[in-house]
Structure 1
Amino acid sequence: MIVIDCRGTGRERGRAHGESARDLVQAALARWHEATLGEGAGAAALKGYVAGFLAGTALIQRIESEVPDLMEEIRGIAEGADVPFDIIAAYNLMDEQWWYDLENPPHVEPGCSVLSTAQRNEGRLLAQNMDLPSFMDGSQVVLRIRPADAPEALVLSSAGLIGLTGVSHAGFGICVNTLLMLNHNKAGLPVAAVFRGALAQASAEEAVRFVRSVPHASGQHYAVADKDGVTGLECSARGSAVSAARGAAAALAHTNHPLTSTDIAPASLAILEAHGRVAESRRRLGFVDGRMAPAMSVEEAKHILSDRTTPICILPMQERPGSTFGSVVFSLSETTKAQFCLGAPDTGAWHEVHWTA
């Protein structure tokens, strides 16, 4: 379990991240380079790809305008890890690269499974398997983030990324899963910045308002939960659609197809359907729905995340070069607890990561 303490201003947090995980960041970028452009592609090829990606979108400019503190954090990661800023900036546009590359094989068709239900005795659980391209395995870290002006947060990440999924000491957690068939916006706010911007809010209600207020670059589902309930938002270029309403939903399950949003990109949907990804997502959703109870324990949630029959817990295969990168279970009650598994939850060790205060 690698836990990196990131304190202070955005630039200071980023430098702490980059310096502490310099070898991991550089190794992760090397694997990303090969996965993106193929074995043997030189530095010039990556530089050209990144230049085209960034110039063809206004994603970096949107981070700068909406959440400048996070842009400073990305700059700090580049400085601390001793890597070019544009490379680390593009690496942080993970979900956006998926739609950018979708029609240009080899492309990635990731998946994730999210669940939230009442916890036995009190409060609520929020849990997720984060499924990512297999080349990212080995870069898993937990960031313990202490901003100068926001609550402390615990975040599952890949070395070099500002974050994937996490929980706030203010008592709420946020899990995310891609909806690649929804329309994207080349000038929207990227997923990582939406997630971290929402996690920096003072409450679950404010986090939901933040997610609903920003323009979205990518199709994505955000589950925002605290001890009193959960809200699910399916976001896309058109805005957000509610998949689970905080006051009405006793439980939430979500995978990688929309339940309420109709902002569909037909070409993207056709690619995903042709590769069986929508059918697979529906199977996973049915499995989670069928096994969730109105109230569950942490161990019962872990058991669902460990399933390999559907599969919820994914191994890389030739036809699907992705795997379960890590898993989280957040216990949201009068006290907030976070458990992380870095790797597949059926075989990996779970660790509770503690708050500094």
Structure 2
Amino acid sequence: MKTAAFPRIRVSGGPFERGEQYGSLARTQVHHARNGYERSFATKGFSWDQAVMQAQGHAEPIRRSFPDIWEEMRGIAKGSNLPFEDILAMNCRTEVLWQALVASHRKATGPGSPLRGFGECSSFAIAPTHTALGHTLVGQNWDWLVHGFDSVILLEVEREDGPNYVTIVEAGLLAKTVMNEHGIGMAVNTLVTSSDGSTPGVPFHVLLRALANCEHVFDAVELLASHPRASSGNYVVGAADGSILNIETAPGDARNINVQVAEHGKTFHTNHFLDSIDGGFDLAPLAMSDSYVRLSRLRELIGINAQAVTIGALDHALRDHTDAPGSICCHPDERSDPSAQWSTVMSVVMDLEKRVLHLAEGNPCQVPRKAVDYSDFLQPNFVKA
């Protein structure tokens, strides 16, 4: 169980400078994450050296598409006193894990093969017409490997070259759940197909960092369609003005993007594809089979037709234990290897108009949800240092 608050770390300056501050201030947590991934990769048959080698295949797409983000990673490496190759491998962890999982799928010959994926997420966005506050609400339970309890931070990024943003993220990685000064909020979900692990392109976590720059919801669609993606991923995006969308992506280019509009002012997503994909098939039935019940429960508890959704109602839904341990509020499955167990490491509801995170720093059934107010830091007229 998580008992201590996530470290709050604020950085500023140019890309390399911000990265160096991040790596230095979160050095302990970055090393926890790096060592945790080495153990977790090993459970999938990948040594750390193999992971580093695989990540090198994504270096050129990152440098070409996002040179400033490349500099941020260089800064993180220097500040954390780790080789750059380690930071790159950590930010390619989705691609490393999915290559191993897809390789296991191809070798599988019968039931009981070890195809279980790592981690899950249950995400949503609700338009202001359907919330009691009259504000856009975006949020999720982030379920990940239990080493995340020792490595998650709340990173506050002050910038002159783009919008300020905050992200709840594993130390050493570029971004995860995001809220920025334009009132954009983003929750994410793992997805995996049979074509993951073999496509060159920009890694998932680099795209998450790039999406922190968005001024509008449609910017997220354009960004994801404009760059070759190395892996699958789902993005629940909303804005303070009331716009919300869900964006499913498989590896590749714009042909493998499905944009899903909200129904009755709400959109929900877990870890399986809701639309068809081109050039592969969804591995969720084998890798994340609990995704289906969690999506059903989100829709049932929050209600597709329900009006005036409250923070309390969302908290109740995010604490749900139906089909535990693979429930919306997820707990470790004791049947799994300790290095491969996961849990809900944080739960958040973002009020995009007020720029407030309603955050539970651990399982929401065990840790009280507290408001973290960024109304000053994430306003466009914030006086930057």
How far apart, CA to CA, are the structure 2 residues paired with 1:351 and 1:68? Answer: 36
Shift of 1:67: 1.2
Counterpart residue number, 1:174: 186
Structure-2 change in CA distance of 1:89 and 1:297 (3 Å): same
Over residues 15-42 of structure 1, what are the superposed CA-to-partner deviations in whole Å (9 max), with x where a residue is unaligned?
111111111211221222222226xx9x
Partner of 1:233: 247
Unaligned 5+ residue runs, structure 2? 105-113
Q: Report whether the alignment pairs 1:297 with 2:296.
A: no
Q: Could you tell me which residue of structure 2 aligns to residue 84 of structure 1? A: 83
Partner Cα separation in structure 2 for residue 101 and residue 251 of structure 1 = 35
Cα separation, partners in 2 of 1:354 and 1:182, compared to 1, 3 Å: farther
Report percent identity of matched pairs.
27
Give the AA of the match of 2:251. Answer: A
Q: Cα offset for 1:196?
A: 1.4
Residue 343 of structure 1, CA deviation: 1.4
State the one-letter code of the partner of 1:19.
Answer: S
1:255–1:165 distance in 2 versus 1, CA, 3 Å = same
Partner Cα distance (2:230, 2:140) in 1: 22
1:211 to partner: Cα distance: 2.1
Q: Contact 2:180/2:212 (CA < 8 Å) preserved in 1?
A: yes
Q: How do 1:4-23 residues align onto structure 2 when only pairs under 5 Å count?
A: 4-23=9-28
> C-alpha distance in 2, partners of 1:263/1:342?
37
For residues 74-117 of structure 1, give each alpha carbon's deviation from its aligned partner in whole angstroms, at most 9, with x where no partner exists: 11111111011101110111221221221356863321100111
Matches within 5 A, 1:71-110: 71-102=70-101, 103-104=103-104, 108-110=117-119
Aligned to 2:294: 284
Which of these residues, 150, 158, 165, is aligned with residue 170 of structure 2? Answer: 158
- The question of whether the paired residues in 2 share the 8 Å contact of 1:141 and 1:342 is answered with no
Deviation per residue, 1:223-254 (Å, 9 max, x gap): 110131211111112434334226x6511010
Aligned-partner Cα distance in 2 for 1:265–1:136? 30
Report the Cα distance in structure 2 between the residues aligned to 1:157 and 1:251, rounded to whole angstroms: 25
Supply the distance in 2 between the matched residues of 1:61 and 1:87 (Cα, whole angstroms). 16
Paired amino acid for 1:189? V
Give the counterpart of 2:270 among 248, 255, 268: 255
Matches within 5 A, 1:1-357: 1=5, 2-37=7-42, 46=48, 48-55=49-56, 58-102=57-101, 103-104=103-104, 108-118=117-127, 119-181=131-193, 183-184=195-196, 186-227=199-240, 228-238=242-252, 239=254, 240-245=256-261, 250-263=265-278, 265-266=280-281, 269=283, 272-274=284-286, 277-278=288-289, 280-292=290-302, 293-310=306-323, 311-320=327-336, 321-333=341-353, 335-355=354-374, 356=377, 357=382
| Cα distance change on mapping 1:121 and 1:349 into 2, 3 Å | closer
**In 1, Cα distance between equivalents of 2:52 and 2:277:** 33
Indicate how the Cα distance of structure 1 residues 87 and 54 shifts in structure 2: closer, same or farther if over 3 A, else same: same
Q: 4+ residue stretches of structure 1 with deviation over 4 A?
A: 104-107
8 Å CA contact 2:154–2:166 kept in 1: the answer is yes
User: Partner letter of residue 308 of structure 2?
Assistant: A
Deviation at 1:206, TM superposition (A): 1.9
Task: Name which of structure 1's ranges 176-185 and 17-26 shifts more when overlaid on structure 2.
Answer: 176-185
2:261/2:267 contact within 8 Å kept = no
Is the 2:163–2:181 Cα contact (8 Å) retained in structure 1?
A: yes
- Matched position secondary structure for 1:8: coil
Distance change (3 Å), C-alpha of 1:23 and 1:106: farther
> TM-score, normalization: structure 2?
0.83
**Cα root mean square deviation, aligned:** 2.4
CA contact (8 A) 2:121 2:142 kept: yes
What's the offset of the Cα at 1:303? 1.5
Alignment-mate amino acid for residue 275 of structure 2: T
The structural deviation recorded for 1:125 is 0.8
Equivalent position amino acid for 1:88 in 2:
I
Q: Number of residues paired by the alignment?
A: 344
Shift of 1:281: 0.8
Deviations 1:149-201 (A, max 9, x none): 11111101011111111111111101110111263353121111111111112
The answer (yes or no) to whether the contact 2:184–2:215 under 8 Å persists in 1 is: no
Distance 1:274 1:179 in 2: 12
Inter-CA distance 349–72: structure 2 relative to 1 (3 Å threshold): farther
Change (3 A) 1:113 1:316: same
Distance in 1, Cα, partners of 2:136 & 2:177: 17
SS state at 1:32 partner: helix
Q: Unaligned 5+ residue runs, structure 1?
A: none
Match of 1:236, as an amino acid? A
